[in-house]
Amino acid sequence: MNPRTVALAFRAVAVAEALSWVGLLAGMYVKYVPQTSEAGVQFFGPVHGAVFVAYLVVALAAARVLGWSRWTTLLALAASVPPLATVVFERWAGRTGRLRVPARA
């Protein structure tokens, strides 16, 4: 796998996971607070589930290809649980050089 491609895929999927969380949370609000529609949950539930799984797969691929430590890998996986934490992790990883492509690539 190309490290550059993996790093770019990780960044894209991290943002997509956060956006799908926002959509699901908005759908849950509409479903449970004003109790007007379930459409948001019916749409964003499966979308978020698919993007969540994609994030986990891409995070594991990034850990392997980019040489992340176990701690960084566990942090990336844990970031998939709280809303918007994948973007926070992605920014941190970029700032600290964990998404930098190795020189030999």
pTM of the model: 0.90
Model pLDDT for residues 7-51, shown as the tens digit of each residue? 999 999 999 999 999 999 999 999 999 989 888 899 999 999 999
Cα-based distances in Å from 46 to 17, 24, 79: 12, 9, 19
